[in-house]
Amino acid sequence: MINFFYENRGIYSLFSFAIYLLHLSLVFWAYKDAISRGKTGWKIAAIVLFGGPIGLVYWLSARPPKL
């Protein structure tokens, strides 16, 4: 029973890595989207990076129309 959580450590690591890659890809997408809409990309990327899902929802609701 003590080793129950250690047996699935590989699966947890893989899942964590997938979540990490998803988060980084959303930051990159927000950066590129901000640049295409005439905004400062690094500011929006920082909001999404440090704000997580809340930062992404903020950007999706506050972004201007495309140029």
Tell me the pTM.
Answer: 0.80
Q: Quick check: is 65 in a domain? A: yes
Confidence of residue 3 (pLDDT cuts 50, 70, 90): low
- Residue 35 has a pLDDT of 95
Number of domains observed in the structure of the chain: 1
Could you give the angle at which helices 53-62 and 41-51 cross, rounded to 10 degrees? 140
Q: Would 47 be classed as within a structural domain?
A: yes
Q: Is residue 58 part of a domain?
A: yes
Residue 13, domain member (yes or no): no
Nearest to 55, CA basis, from 34, 30, 38: 30
**Is residue 2 domain-resident?**
no
pLDDT in tens, 11-65: 788 899 999 999 999 999 999 999 999 999 999 999 999 999 999 999 999 999 8
In a domain, 8, yes or no: no
Q: Is residue 33 part of a domain?
A: yes
Give domain status of residue 11, yes or no: no
> Which residue segment(s) compose the domain that 42 sits in?
21-67
